[in-house]
Amino acid sequence: MSFSFFQFLTIFGALSLFLFGMKVMSEGIQKLAGDKMRSILSAMTSNRFFGVITGFLITTLVQSSSASTVMVVSFVNAGLLNLVQSVGVIMGANIGTTTTAWLISFLGFKLNISAISLPIIGIAFPMLYFSRDRLTSLGETLLGFALLFLGLGLLQSSIPDLGENPQMFEALQNLTDYGFGSVLIFLGIGTLLTIVLQSSSATMALTLVMCNNGWIGFEHGAAIVLGENIGTTITANLAALVGNVHAKRTAMAHTLFNIFGVLWMLVAFNYVINGIEGYMVDIGLDSPFDNPTMVPIGLSIFHTAFNITNTLLLIGFIKTIVYSVEKLIPSKGKTDERHQLEYFGGGFLHMSELSVLQAKRETLRYCDLGQRMFNFIPEMIYQTDKKKFSKLLARVSKYEEITDRVEVEITTFLIKVSRKQLSTNASEQLRRMRIVCSEIEKIGDICFKMATLLDKKKGEKAYFTPKQREALDKMFALVNDAFDIMMLNVERGEVFARTNINKAYVTEKRINEFRDNVSIEVIDDLEKGGAHVKSGFYYNKMISSCEKVGDSLLNINEAAAGVNIE
């Protein structure tokens, strides 16, 4: 009997349903947790044990260590975590992925979960149409859970019986006859499967099904599990390719940690699997070498023991790991150290809800970029050296290009994230961030026009009087006060911004009053036939431009506080 293309599509469809269920469940849990999930991430400290626990919890929830580690790489790239913190989280993520094996072993094979999947879907589906976000998210979580195990059940039933069709898997069986070489071969198979599926959890599910059906033995299943630990590092390294030096170091730390674990386990491989067999027999279970149905439990024990032991062995050497990756991937200077945008290249399991936190951090950094650009203007006013003035002008021009580019990149990212299924609160946050980015881009344009005016003023040999310079200094100080208030409101969020919004209104009023007074003074000076007509023109333009920056800053404050926005 030949293995038809239709049978291949059937197996692939069952695996796809398993993956889709995992994705739906992951997104539902993220939305159900909402700000609590983001609070866990923002509360991370340098405590390595807390980092391990956090990584374990996140991976247990999203059911994919690949997705978790890509998320960690992205957070390091954005400056949310440092390298020491990230290594602890990655260690915890490796332990967290073992929950998939236990879940499938006890529910997928012991109970016929696929039989109750349809009733669960019957409960979950109506919940998707509730108006309350939490009920909708709970419905998505239940629906994903049901689809996950329905896919697993279909995967088991769609795979042909090895006893009836032994010739279909002769190639696979032939690979088991090379002793320790077979272990290495199946380790490679596990690595390739995880790279292709982009999920160690999916590879584990497939491995458990193969072992449960007697295709491969306990020791070969264990080798595939080791391969998964190597394969899952590839995803993080791919995500880090477009990241900064910190992201690359995090991905490398993950690789070193997992490869070291696989190497020592290969040395002790036979002792460990024989020890697990002895333990299972001692507690009254059958040997996984003799009874294929016991292999899933044996692999769950192996997977858990391996990851916990590897973490315990290396948790005291986190600083050594960090030192090693810093030597392997040295910094190339300030340009490489600069944090860049990272679009969460998480493959199939995209962290939609958690990306809101990433977007917020990138938006805050964009606001800081706007303030830095604004502060080039007073430098240009006082710069008398032509070459240095030209350099400042070129720098402002470069920053204007950067603000345009970053605004497009962040907005594109926000739109991309908003297309995913998000909670109402997360969607509203994204909408406000788009307003913030638009206003910062306006500030960049205003600063560029101010720099161009100063260059034109210099060409016409017009000079500000001491009184005008003093007034400009006061205006720049007022606008910087407005910038500081804005940065604080954007960083701390809506609740704080609402209580702090009055400071923004007071500062904006002072900026407007200062602009009005200057305009009156300039008109009076012109009417009196003052000698500084040209400088008065540029002086008035600079003050008016600062006032426009103040208007944009107030709009950002209102967006952060959620007031006066349509």
Task: Specify whether 328 is located in the same domain as 470.
Answer: no
pLDDT in tens, 100-130: 667 666 665 544 555 678 888 899 888 888 8
CB of 15 within 8 A of CB of 203?
no
Measured distance CA(250)–CA(539) in Å, rounded: 50
Task: Specify whether 87 is located in the same domain as 175.
Answer: yes
Task: Specify whether 333 is located in the same domain as 360.
Answer: no
Asked if residue 445 is part of any domain, the answer here is: yes
49 Cβ contact partners less than 8 Å away, ≥ 6 residues apart: 88, 315
Asked if residue 98 is part of any domain, the answer here is: yes
Asked if residue 348 is part of any domain, the answer here is: no
Task: Specify whether 174 is located in the same domain as 303.
Answer: yes
Task: Specify whether 331 is located in the same domain as 412.
Answer: no
Task: Specify whether 306 is located in the same domain as 431.
Answer: no
Domain count, the chain: 2
CB of 277 within 8 A of CB of 298?
yes
Residue 162 DSSP symbol: T
Range of the domain at 499: 355-561
Task: Specify whether 189 is located in the same domain as 300.
Answer: yes
Q: What is the pLDDT of residue 134?
A: 77
Burial class (CB in 10 A: 0-12, 13-18, 19+), 536: buried
Task: Specify whether 15 is located in the same domain as 117.
Answer: yes
Is it the case that residue 205 has pLDDT exceeding 80?
A: no
In 3D space, the residue among 227, 258, 209, 208 whose CA is nearest the CA of residue 93 turns out to be 258
Asked if residue 367 is part of any domain, the answer here is: yes
565 Cβ contact partners less than 8 Å away, ≥ 6 residues apart: 432, 435, 558, 559
Task: Specify whether 115 is located in the same domain as 77.
Answer: yes
Provide the percentage of residues in the chain whose pLDDT is more than 70: 73
pLDDT in tens, 210-260: 777 777 778 888 888 888 888 878 766 765 665 667 778 888 888 888 889
Side-chain half-sphere CA neighbours of 435 within 13 A: 22
Q: Report residue 219 as tokens.
A: 């020791």
Task: Specify whether 261 is located in the same domain as 391.
Answer: no
- The enclosing domain of 520 has a CATH number of 1.20.58.220
Mean pLDDT of the chain: 77
pLDDT in tens, 432-452: 888 898 899 999 999 999 999
- What is the greatest pairwise CA distance in the chain? 106
**From 51-55, 345-349, 481-485, the region with the lowest mean pLDDT:** 345-349
Q: Does the predicted TM-score (pTM) go above 0.75?
A: no
Is it the case that residue 383 has pLDDT exceeding 60?
A: yes
Measured distance CA(195)–CA(203) in Å, rounded: 9
Please report which confidence band the pLDDT of residue 410 belongs to, taking 50, 70 and 90 as the band edges: confident
Task: Specify whether 327 is located in the same domain as 370.
Answer: no
CA distances from 109 to 201, 382, 531 (A): 16, 76, 92
CB of 512 within 8 A of CB of 547?
yes
